[in-house]
Structure 1
Amino acid sequence: TNTGEHLKVPSPNSDGLDTDHLDAEVTRRYIREVIRRLAPAVGDFRRSALRELYLASYEVVGRLWTPGFLEQFRRRRGYDLAPFLPVLSGARVVNRETSDRVMFDFRKTLGEVLVEAYYRAAVEEARQAGLGIHAEAGGPGPPVHQVPVDALAALGAIDSVRGEFWPFRPESSIWVVKETACAAHIYGKPIVHMEAFTSNTHWEEAPQDLKAAADRAFCEGMNHVVWHTSSHQPPEAGKPGWAYGAGTHLMPNVPWWTMGKQFLDYLARISFLMQQGRFVGDVLYYYGDGGFNFVPPKHVDPSLGFGYDYDVTNAEVLQRLEVRDGKLVLPHGMAYEILVLPERPDVDPQALEKIAALAAAGAVVVGPKPLRASGYDPSGQRDAAVRALAEKVWGPCDGRTVREHRYGKGKVVWGRTLREVLAERGVGPDFQFTGGSREVLLDFIHRRTAQADIYFVRNARKRPASVQAVFHVKGKAPELWDPATGLIRDAEQYELSEAGVSLPLELEPEGSALVVFRRPASARVKRARPLEAGPAPIEVAGPWTLEFPPDWGAPASIRLDRLISWTEHSDPGVRYFSGVATYRTAFDVPEQWLRQASDPQLDLGGLWGAAEALLNSKPLGVAWKIPFRLPAREALRAGRNELVIKVANNWVNRLVGDARGHGSYTRTNVTSERVLGRPPSQMELKPSGLFGPVRLVAGHK
């Protein structure tokens, strides 16, 4: 490239200038060279396990240019950009309106050329070798990078789409999930890959800290988790080991590694169900034809309100829409109730022609009457064509005194809320709930197959939610699929109504639920049997013996009369310990309590980061999320019981201790805190271990 942009994160021998992403031949030559180097090791790609080449997130900064750009611009826009080049540096040519419209054309052309010369050229070249292209083509985008592209078009041009999300970046959120899901939905790509858990905090997380971000991403459309990152860990790497500079580390050296399978299973179960069928959304937003066009994170449009979901489309896919039975339908089967136009005065004339055709065929289009064409129009002909067609389609509709106008078999609406428009069509919310406090905040996503409706619901608050939920499903019985355990059970209580199927939903703090409808309901109303309270909980009070592994600075064992965080202990070896420590105690269970307990569970209270329990030498499982409870029926016995709980944290506390002079980095492979995104000397100790109270709870009959 001629911009001086270098590779962002080179390995020692790979640094160099970026390629020219606006030159298709440059892209093809680069892909051919990569394939040439891979071929001797891989052989015939069509017979190998290698399926795709990956193009990382687009993080080029500064001005993009290519020698042939002026000709590309002239061919696409119909006029010469050269007299207007000062506009690109902020100058005003002719007047402000002219300059703004020229800049619109420049940004649009830049995006079109980038998609064709970089993404499509890469796909075409790779395909000749039997490979696909997998890329985070639309981002990360604002606020970090102003990618010069129509993000949906870029994602649509490649074989496999990927976005990314950062769970812990409050200062400038990177959350490119809804955009990627929209592209997958409108372009007919079944898998929404997601670079997940990207972070510049190091060894400060456990599965319980990551779950809420994963649940949010699932509700925005993610259905395949690409963990960022897992680094190679040969023995010479030491501990914590080698690590990439921006990632949540998932590797055998992480203390909770042996307790991580349950969280990975949780992600896998939800991913599997979210890959079934098609996404269900009632609203399709059109975001215009400009460049530098992105889809923000999922949010509730005030005009639409809670309970509906949506996709966003661009000008390319707009042209593929058809109308069937009043719905907007794409060739691969995605369907929407209404099309919503952007709140802006300009529109591409071709797009307006398609919008008019859709309304004439029976679609409902919501949005303002366009006043002019997008981009620079020196002749005024495009502006005139837009005004003439808009007058036909919108007629007297002005959004104030007249708020809708029939056009052919359909109509346009302007000045009414989207919720009102959908209600008039008889389309109620896909998901709604009552009960709970005003602080309750839920989110959802809905997938539909030929046989089933699949909902994933999450509680976005760190407090429990007890609600009466209504799912927009007709005549089917609900099943509750537990993504944490894989257990499936029929809902004990539900009621059918015109609005759908209503049932009580109990969600833990930041909890989630999969609700699946597969079979016809046997009755309109199913009542749960009254619950009988079991005996009072038994407190496992200790005292506790806490054992530590050798050679990591902590004593072999200590006695705890009460449970505290390791960071509260007076011994620096305990306070700064990172790894797996083992708690041991014993307690008695009366025989009568055991007979009366219908579903005894071991409640560990609070802990960080994950715990594995054994009762009377029988494994109970791993507790990794709130509530930290494990089934105890098979291992529990009347009389004396022996309890062992292994708790793992992460490396943060050991690194902090070393940085504060309690080890001087002698116990880890970290030689300088400057290599980390946040130096350990500036980190806070993470409360770790088992906090309790530990109890046996009886459950209900």
Structure 2
Amino acid sequence: MNKKKRYTVMALSALLVASTMAHNDEAKPWTFWYWMYGAVSKAGIHADLVGMKNVGLGGTYLMPIRGVSERPEYQGEAAQLSPKFWEMVDYSFQQADSLGLDMGIHICDGFALAGNPSILPAESMQKVVWTDTIVGGGKKIEGMQMWQPESYKDGKLQPAGSEGGYYQDIAAFAIRCKEKPQLFKPEKIEYTEAVSTAKGYYLAAKPASIIYSFHKPVTVRSMRVVPNGNNIQSQRLLVQASDDGINFIDIKQLVPPRQGWQNTMCDYTFSLPTTTARYFRFSWTPEGTEPGAEDLDAAKWKPLLKLENIILSNQPMINQYEGKTGAVWRIETDAAAKSETVAMADVLPLKLENGMVMGVMVNGNLMNKLPKGTWRLLRMGHTSTGQTNATAGTGKGLEVDKFSPAAVRKLFNSWYALFLNRPHSDVVKYLHIDSWECGSQNWGYQFAEEFKARRGYDLIPYLPIMAGVPMESASRYEQVLKDIRLTINDLVNEKFFKTFTDLAHEQDIEVSHESIAPTFPADGLQHYQYADNPMGEYWLNSPTHDKPNDMLDAVSGAHIYNKNIVQAEGFTEVRGVWNETPAMLKPMLDRNLALGMNKLFFHVTAHNPWMDRKPGMTLDGIGLFFQRDNTWYPEARGFVDYITLCQNYLQQGRPVVDIAVFTGEEIPSRSLTPDKLVPMLPGVFGAERVASEQKRMANVGIPMEESPVGVTHSANILDLKDWCNALHGYKYDSMNKDALLKWNFEYSPKGKLPGNQDYRILVIPQPANTLSAEVKAKIEELREEGIIIIDKPYQAKDFSQYGIEPDVVLPENMDYAHRCVLEATGRKDIYFLTNQEDKERQITATFRTRTSKIRQVVKLSLPAYGSAFVILSNKEDMQVISQTGHKLVEEEGAGFTENYPSVLAVSDKWKVHFDDIRKDTTVTLPFDWSKSADEKMKYYSGHVTFTSSFEWGDSVPVSAEEKMEVPAEKTKTAPSNDGFIKIQLGKIGDVARVLVNGKQYGYAWTAPYEVYVPKRDLKNGSNEIQIVVANTWHNALQGAGEGKAPFKGIWTNAKYRTKSKALLPAGLLSTINIVY
């Protein structure tokens, strides 16, 4: 049944003055502030920070990027860590302090990730390396020298056998081989017509085959694929064999592992069924390619086979061992491959001193001879991965060992702590750990000791497994490999993230980190337990680089670990085209607010050291150009105020999420995107979604699209804009094993996690036979406590059969967020609603209240891409108001709307002034200056002031509404001064601020482009109205590129890419209405 309740609707047209409620500073968005190439000036610092303050930001993360020597033409003088650099840092701290802005500092120079010149090779990220020597048994091996494996020297990795360099032995082994190990070199290599080798590697765009021919049959048990670059297609080969070169049989269809974008550190090893043949054919077709995702990054691009080499071996190897050892972020998906690998019979430890074999341990005795047979001697050790904080300047150095607290402390003291010792460093409130772009490590400080302490057995006897050697049995070596990854996960969390958090908290500083996946082989949620403010990332107009999983990692990580603030690095653009506007950004912003973000960090504000070059410095064209010399930056205050208002509400209370989805026990792992849930919840998603998802994943024809200009990619990449409210009124979080096992029932019947997050449903996508005994036991405990367990495909359309109605019922292309606030006076439920369509809509929303039998229905009018807050409360004195306190009137059958029935006349003539070219003209509206015959106006980008007037007072007729309110026996000759007039700008290009009688009243930056003015501020008679319009840089940069710059000083280091030379509309593009 429906029962009337009291509620407040906050309409977020986003064009009005600041909210009637006071915002806390925590609700203000921040920005990343990049100092590029050491080109920094005090004038620029002051202008940047004043701009941030004026636009309404709360603070900034200061991050110097790249070095002076990389772009000497910029004449940078503030090289990182130099006296000039510290002078600029001191000045920025003083300026921020005087302006009331807070700051954060990254853990190292640059933004990726944690390196420093002070880090020695032994203190850097480590990897396991090895060399092979094949010998015959029965001969003396004592005194035999073994080649040193790969080592690190003078800033680079050098190949095995090189002299010197940093390298440390771990152990050596003798492995009995049933036959002499061989890597087979074909007598002849042929390929079909579609293959080209002109570039020095095999390249094909159409179905193709490569054929290896041998003089006599060879027996193959494994193969290694060496791709050219990050190429998924080379991992999709169909392996076939033949005795005559004519009739081939299928041996194996290679299945790529799930893999991230930083994936070129290792080749790909595939186990094969033992096969003896003279001919091996490797066939490829683009058909069947997945559309690509964050965990299959290389599949996003145009399907091209790019292959350096295929190496066949007679030795059994562990399938895809490179990822299983933690050397790179990969997850095997070919479960059948385990049965193809034959385990080795004997593995004996060697005694090694300074690379020289001193003997072999046989039955516990040191012998100087190996037993008879063929033996593979394996020398295993570790060296630096060679990874650096690549985007740094003079603060560049090796990436710190993520398993060494001492090395982490050294890094902290060598960079971050230096900032804390500067004057005015009290402005520094955050330590930030940014994009994980330094790959993986599978060895480090006391790794073997930590492994033994945590896993309960010694890793060293099993070390050959890390070289891909199958030992004992498939089940045994797979367990050892899993234990290695579990240990890696434990150490990166406890030794790296926790150490940084402890160091920061000692200084009363909060910590934020971004996602660790899909680059480092760990649990993508667990590290957020050590973040005060988990951070995700999303990209604008960049399908190949967008990070829906990053955002879901941060949101779920925050929720399961009791973190209220979910930060987001927002609106990064891989190729900015200078047409970006706040209206363009709003739909994406709102989707991420609905997802769970509640603190935006704009990416990026690039410091512009020059006062006479505009738009100025950028991150080499990457990122949203949210900086002082962007034309519409002053008018962005309206956009920022809107964000602040939203975040103010969405930081209150805690999120309401019904469903937890278990991420499993595999390492690496991360949150699940909604498409991964369709097989488990087909009924809730609906038949249409099931069918569309099957079609998307089939990817028939490999459809491609171009976005942005010059970037061609799969048209079927997952885009969260297509998944608004995908579960039709239910929200979900991903939950890792750590959080699952901590789930308790302090307040029955709803489970309480460490984050005090209520979940009523647990979805288990993994097959039961993959779950450990402790996880199975926990699931049964949850079941007994009343949690609904979904461990097989759920066909019902909702969970009402369990008494769990949809939280909110909305039309298509709407999304929402729900926060619950428990106050002394009762409960308050805050719903954020977002219209994701580019048109005005009359919507009906139905809300679930505390008892499922009571539903609250609200009708509401939302503009194109509009949004609203609906607040349900048990208080008795609620009213319906707009963002600025304007009363929304509930009209019968129309829902909540505003009542402005009368229209004022505005003069047809508008005086127009172009600020930067000092030109004046008089126009009638609409006026699009990009169509002007005057080229200075035509290509103009910047501010233009439109001035006109309107009458108010005795000469203005009373509104129809006011007439109804006046008794019949009385008369009224002029409108009341209570309330507001509303100035409707209609369509504009692109943003505006409105002044009446010289006083500013608001910003028009998104539909419906309206500004409110109190009637009491109007004069009796003529009132001047000024509308200051700003367009984007697009037209001026287009003109400058054609030699028609509208004014001097136009310069940027961002390449200007656009398909069309057409100019964008600019100005007041419709007539102006004033209603009251």
The two structures have a TM-score, normalised by structure 2, of: 0.52
C-alpha contact 2:985 2:1071 (8 A) present in aligned 1: yes
> What SS is found at the alignment partner of 1:354?
helix
Q: Residues 665 and 170 (structure 1 numbering): CA distance in 2 closer, same or farther, change over 3 Å?
A: farther
Which residue is equivalent to 1:230? 605
Structure 1 counterpart of 2:844, from 468, 492, 502: 468
Q: Which moved further from structure 2: 226-235 or 159-168?
A: 226-235
Mapped partners of 1:641, 1:468: distance in 2: 39
Which residue is equivalent to 1:306? 728
Pair 1:445 & 2:817 matched: yes
**One-letter amino acid of the counterpart of residue 529, structure 2:** G
What do the CA deviations read for 1:408-432 (whole angstroms, capped 9, x no partner)? xxxxxx4434755x31221101100
Q: Residues 425 and 535 (structure 1 numbering): CA distance in 2 closer, same or farther, change over 3 Å?
A: closer
Which residue is equivalent to 1:607? 988
Tell me the percent identity.
Answer: 25
> What SS is found at the alignment partner of 1:229?
strand
Which residue is equivalent to 1:548? 914
Q: Which moved further from structure 2: 62-71 or 559-568?
A: 62-71
Mapped partners of 1:542, 1:98: distance in 2: 84
Pair 1:191 & 2:565 matched: yes
Which residue is equivalent to 1:146? 519
C-alpha contact 2:529 2:557 (8 A) present in aligned 1: yes
Shift of 1:592: 5.8
Which residue is equivalent to 1:376? none
Mapped partners of 1:681, 1:363: distance in 2: 53
**One-letter amino acid of the counterpart of residue 615, structure 2:** P
Shift of 1:539: 7.6
What do the CA deviations read for 1:64-83 (whole angstroms, capped 9, x no partner)? 54365455445544566678
Q: Residues 628 and 543 (structure 1 numbering): CA distance in 2 closer, same or farther, change over 3 Å?
A: same
Query: How many correspondences in the alignment?
Result: 607
What do the CA deviations read for 1:438-488 (whole angstroms, capped 9, x no partner)? xx311011101113111101011112221211111259xxxxxxxxxxxxx
Structure 2 counterpart of 1:508, from 852, 863, 866: 863
What do the CA deviations read for 1:199-225 (whole angstroms, capped 9, x no partner)? 241643222122112111111111112
Mapped partners of 2:432, 2:417: distance in 1: 16
Richer in strand (by share) = 2
> What SS is found at the alignment partner of 1:510?
coil
Shift of 1:501: 0.9
Which residue is equivalent to 2:1056? 679
Q: Residues 644 and 325 (structure 1 numbering): CA distance in 2 closer, same or farther, change over 3 Å?
A: same
What do the CA deviations read for 1:611-653 (whole angstroms, capped 9, x no partner)? 1123454544221110011235626679766442210123232
C-alpha contact 1:567 1:685 (8 A) present in aligned 2: no
Q: Residues 188 and 535 (structure 1 numbering): CA distance in 2 closer, same or farther, change over 3 Å?
A: closer
C-alpha contact 1:120 1:157 (8 A) present in aligned 2: yes
Structure 2 counterpart of 1:250, from 610, 614, 626: 626
Which residue is equivalent to 1:653? 1035
Mapped partners of 2:607, 2:867: distance in 1: 33
Mapped partners of 1:264, 1:23: distance in 2: 41
Which residue is equivalent to 1:219? 594
What do the CA deviations read for 1:78-113 (whole angstroms, capped 9, x no partner)? 566678778768887788877766655444443333
Q: Residues 545 and 111 (structure 1 numbering): CA distance in 2 closer, same or farther, change over 3 Å?
A: same
**One-letter amino acid of the counterpart of residue 821, structure 2:** T
Which residue is equivalent to 2:766? 343
The 5 Å alignment of 1:452-601 reads: 452-474=828-850, 498-520=853-875, 528-529=890-891, 542-550=908-916, 554=917, 556-586=919-949, 591=955, 595-596=959-960, 600-601=981-982
**One-letter amino acid of the counterpart of residue 582, structure 2:** P
What do the CA deviations read for 1:17-47 (whole angstroms, capped 9, x no partner)? 222223333222212333552353259x8xx
What do the CA deviations read for 1:314-366 (whole angstroms, capped 9, x no partner)? 11111211234332212453211121112334113322222223223443322
Q: Residues 62 and 519 (structure 1 numbering): CA distance in 2 closer, same or farther, change over 3 Å?
A: closer
Q: Which moved further from structure 2: 347-356 or 678-687?
A: 678-687
Q: Residues 77 and 89 (structure 1 numbering): CA distance in 2 closer, same or farther, change over 3 Å?
A: same
> What SS is found at the alignment partner of 1:570?
coil
Which residue is equivalent to 1:276? 652
Which residue is equivalent to 2:357? none
Mapped partners of 2:728, 2:914: distance in 1: 50
Per chain length, whose mean CA-contact separation is higher, i.e. which structure has more relative contact order (CA < 8 Å, sep 6+)? 2
Which residue is equivalent to 1:402? none
Q: Residues 469 and 101 (structure 1 numbering): CA distance in 2 closer, same or farther, change over 3 Å?
A: same
Which residue is equivalent to 1:51? 429
The 5 Å alignment of 1:8-407 reads: 8-11=390-393, 13-34=394-415, 36-41=417-422, 48-61=426-439, 65-66=443-444, 68-73=446-451, 75-77=453-455, 104-136=482-514, 138-139=515-516, 141=517, 145-175=518-548, 176-200=550-574, 201=576, 203-234=578-609, 236=611, 238-245=613-620, 246-296=622-672, 301-302=677-678, 303=681, 304=684, 305-323=727-745, 324-344=747-767, 345-367=769-791
What do the CA deviations read for 1:495-547 (whole angstroms, capped 9, x no partner)? xx934211102211111001112344689xx9945589876757868444432
Pair 1:4 & 2:386 matched: yes
Mapped partners of 1:306, 1:87: distance in 2: 47
Q: Residues 97 and 685 (structure 1 numbering): CA distance in 2 closer, same or farther, change over 3 Å?
A: farther
C-alpha contact 1:534 1:596 (8 A) present in aligned 2: no
Mapped partners of 2:463, 2:873: distance in 1: 60
**One-letter amino acid of the counterpart of residue 668, structure 1:** I
Mapped partners of 2:612, 2:407: distance in 1: 38
Mapped partners of 2:469, 2:1018: distance in 1: 78
**One-letter amino acid of the counterpart of residue 437, structure 2:** E
Q: Residues 509 and 86 (structure 1 numbering): CA distance in 2 closer, same or farther, change over 3 Å?
A: farther
Q: Residues 116 and 512 (structure 1 numbering): CA distance in 2 closer, same or farther, change over 3 Å?
A: same
**One-letter amino acid of the counterpart of residue 783, structure 2:** A
Q: Residues 337 and 60 (structure 1 numbering): CA distance in 2 closer, same or farther, change over 3 Å?
A: same
C-alpha contact 2:663 2:735 (8 A) present in aligned 1: yes
The two structures have a TM-score, normalised by structure 1, of: 0.77
Q: Residues 616 and 31 (structure 1 numbering): CA distance in 2 closer, same or farther, change over 3 Å?
A: closer
C-alpha contact 2:947 2:1026 (8 A) present in aligned 1: yes
Mapped partners of 2:814, 2:538: distance in 1: 20
Structural RMSD (CA): 3.6
**One-letter amino acid of the counterpart of residue 829, structure 2:** D
Which residue is equivalent to 1:387? none
Quick check: which has more Rg, 1 or 2?
2
Which residue is equivalent to 2:107? none
Shift of 1:285: 1.2
Which residue is equivalent to 2:803? 426
**One-letter amino acid of the counterpart of residue 934, structure 2:** D
Mapped partners of 2:554, 2:855: distance in 1: 30
> What SS is found at the alignment partner of 2:579?
coil
> What SS is found at the alignment partner of 1:225?
strand
C-alpha contact 2:440 2:519 (8 A) present in aligned 1: no
Mapped partners of 1:150, 1:96: distance in 2: 24
Mapped partners of 2:861, 2:1018: distance in 1: 27
C-alpha contact 2:541 2:573 (8 A) present in aligned 1: yes
Mapped partners of 1:126, 1:669: distance in 2: 40
Structure 2 gap ranges (5+): 1-123, 125-383, 685-726, 879-887, 963-979
Q: Residues 85 and 548 (structure 1 numbering): CA distance in 2 closer, same or farther, change over 3 Å?
A: farther
